[in-house]
Amino acid sequence: MPQRVFFVTSEVYPFSKSGGLGDVMGALPEAMEKSGRPSAVISPYYGRISTGNVRVRRTVSDLHVGYPWAPITADVYETEYHGVPLYFIDRGEYFDRRYYYNDPYKGDYFDNAERFIFFCRAAIALMEHLGTSPSIVHAHDWQAALLPAYIHFMRPREPFWTNTGTVFTIHNVAFQGRFSSRLFESCGLPSEAWDINGVEFFGDFNLLKGGIVYADAVTTVSPSYAREILTEKYGYGLDGTLRQRELHLYGVLNGADYTVWNPEDDPYLPCRYSVKDLSGKQKCKEHLISELGLDPALKDRPLLGFIGRMRGQKGIDLLNAIIPDLVRMDVGIVALGEGKPEHEAKITELMEQYRGRVAAVIGYTEDLAHRMQAGSDIFLMPSRYEPCGLTQMYALRYGTLPIATAAGGLRDTIDPWPGENSTGFIFTKSEAGELLKSVREAVNFWTDNPAGRLKMIRRAMRREFTWDRACREYMDIYRNIRLRL
């Protein structure tokens, strides 16, 4: 087996996905493999995993993991997806559950620390079992954040790990995996890691911090967000720790997987379209209007779409606050998402109040997300912060003009109107009034300037955020690390 880059992640599309992390992990390892870097992925084997037509086989039974306290084992299921080996860590009591991390009605699973410490330890055990030292272990988010810490402490002692570099990618610094200090004792790190310059965080055990402190390089998913997290406002308490790692902190903009998100051959759409022939887009819009039971007259008015987690981060409350004004502007609104019950309830209530004008689908539906990207004219992304954001990149490809806050990856992917390269509309302050102003501007542009609109749509559809570019940037980072080892 060649030396590989091992991506360790709690989600990998199409097998598991709750948001952008799944999409990224479904695309980056394949792009890496195609760029000539042998890669592999390790992820949990969730009960709700969808393997579709892909054959998954159990290849390791009773892998000794040794966590927590008593010796414990994992089984490993394996498959190859688009040329990349994928290893799923199976232990039913931890992963065979309805949700990934939390039950929407009961909150986070009480044993999340135990589940993901187990996952990290099992990943270590598996890589050792496979027998070839990885060239790089590239861990993602708090669920995999202990890997750089384990490897940091094993490297001087265990020859297997001596030449392995580690990269840790933060997809959202607000989700840290912060747990009681009691759990530290069982995680298998030496006591010196319990330190303000280690995993200790205001008396708690902070897994994300472990990734930041001990990885050879830390990355996040856009250049703007890499700068933002160094500030108190966006650092969620870890800005100081991140500033200490500033020399080894990189912002690598995500790519979009255009084999999955492309209106020219999207299997979920009622009809396809392209930058050369946009007629199918209007048909997708009419289909969506009828699928969601909206007023057919909306076919000639702008249709505004929202897809995302209904949480404060995504600014769903800002959207909810202006829906009555939007209805008065004679536009349609379609929203798909799930999240905080209060936001879900509010938009459902607005849908009942403005039947035919507002449609909200509460839930998680991959195929509808595609039809909404295609059928909307304008894509709303009023995020309070956005590490990268993939949905606005998909919207651009589908010719759906984004309206977004000037935050993180949104700033890095949308060229604001007015301007000759403009692909969307940007507003600066996360306030309902600002969002409304921006929507008004976009709607006026959409209705009053059909020629300008068409040009902007075409420009948007031609934008490319490729994984090849991101891969090259990651490979440079890997190379630098290996020179330092």
Interface positions with ligand ADP (CB under 6 A) = 19-20, 23, 307-309, 336-338, 364-366, 369, 388-391
Q: Is 386 in the site for ligand GLC (CB under 6 A)?
A: yes
- Alpha carbon distance, N-terminus to C-terminus of the chain: 22
Give the tokens for residue 380.
């709303």
Residue 357, amino acid: R
Q: How far is the CB of 27 from ligand GLC (least distance, A)?
A: 10
DSSP H or E segment with residue 395:
helix 391-397
Question: Phi then psi for 105, rounded to 5 degrees?
Answer: -95, -25
Closer CB to ligand GLC, residue 116 or residue 446?
116
Q: Which does 221 bind (CB under 5 to 8 A by kind): ligand ADP, ligand GLC, none?
A: ligand GLC
Q: Is 228 in the site for ligand GLC (CB under 6 A)?
A: no
Distance in angstroms (rounded) separating the CA atoms of residues 248 and 219: 8
Closer CB to ligand ADP, residue 245 or residue 309?
309
Applying CB under 6 A, the site for ligand GLC has a residue count of 14
Site for ligand GLC in 152-171 (CB under 6 A): 171
Distance in angstroms (rounded) separating the CA atoms of residues 449 and 454: 9
Give just the sign of the alpha carbon dihedral 87, 89, 95, 96: positive
Closer CB to ligand ADP, residue 226 or residue 369?
369
Give the tokens for residue 466.
């490729």
Give the tokens for residue 313.
């981060």
Closer CB to ligand ADP, residue 370 or residue 459?
370
Distance in angstroms (rounded) separating the CA atoms of residues 482 and 152: 14
Residue 457's closest CA among 273, 267, 308, 272?
Answer: 273
Pairing label, strands 57-64, 73-81 = antiparallel
- The residues, ordered by sequence, that sit 6+ positions from 273 with a Cβ below 8 Å of its Cβ are 263, 264, 279, 280, 281, 283, 284, 374, 399
Closer CB to ligand GLC, residue 72 or residue 470?
470
The region of 111-119, 120-128, 349-357, 384-392 touching ligand GLC under the rule CB under 6 A is 384-392
Q: Is 392 in the site for ligand GLC (CB under 6 A)?
A: no
Q: Which does 365 bind (CB under 5 to 8 A by kind): ligand ADP, ligand GLC, none?
A: ligand ADP
Closer CB to ligand ADP, residue 354 or residue 364?
364
Q: Is 134 in the site for ligand GLC (CB under 6 A)?
A: no
Q: Is 89 in the site for ligand GLC (CB under 6 A)?
A: no
Distance in angstroms (rounded) separating the CA atoms of residues 403 and 429: 13
Q: How far is the CB of 22 from ligand GLC (least distance, A)?
A: 9
Count other Cβ atoms within 10 Å, centred on residue 360: 23
Among positions 38, 389, 402, 424, the unique one binding ligand GLC when judged by CB under 6 A: 389
Count the helices and strands in the chain (H runs, E runs): 17, 20
Q: Is 323 helix (H, G, I), strand (E, B) or coil?
A: helix
Site for ligand GLC in 409-428 (CB under 6 A): 409
Q: How far is the CB of 202 from ligand ADP (least distance, A)?
A: 25
- Tell me the H-state helices in 58-174: 92-95, 112-130, 146-154
The 3-42 contact track toward ligand GLC, x by CB under 6 A, reads ----------------xxx--x------------------
Q: How far is the CB of 380 from ligand GLC (least distance, A)?
A: 15
DSSP 399-456: T-EEEEES-HHHHHH-PBSSSTT--BEEESS--HHHHHHHHHHHHHHHHH-HHHHHHH
Q: Is 226 in the site for ligand GLC (CB under 6 A)?
A: no
Among positions 390, 403, 407, 461, the unique one binding ligand GLC when judged by CB under 6 A: 390
Among positions 221, 381, 401, 477, the unique one binding ligand GLC when judged by CB under 6 A: 221
Closer CB to ligand ADP, residue 30 or residue 338?
338
Give the tokens for residue 479.
């190379």
Q: Using CB atoms, what's the residue nearest to ligand ADP?
A: 20
Closer CB to ligand ADP, residue 20 or residue 399?
20
Q: How far is the CB of 189 from ligand ADP (least distance, A)?
A: 28
Q: Which does 391 bind (CB under 5 to 8 A by kind): ligand GLC, ligand ADP, none?
A: ligand ADP
DSSP H or E segment with residue 281:
helix 279-291
Q: How far is the CB of 414 from ligand GLC (least distance, A)?
A: 13
Give just the sign of the alpha carbon dihedral 190, 195, 198, 203: positive
Among positions 16, 254, 373, 413, the unique one binding ligand GLC when judged by CB under 6 A: 254
Closer CB to ligand ADP, residue 148 or residue 337?
337
Q: Is 452 in the site for ligand GLC (CB under 6 A)?
A: no
CB 14 within 8 A of CB 259: no
Interface ranges with ligand GLC (CB under 6 A) = 19-21, 24, 171-172, 221, 254, 386-390, 409
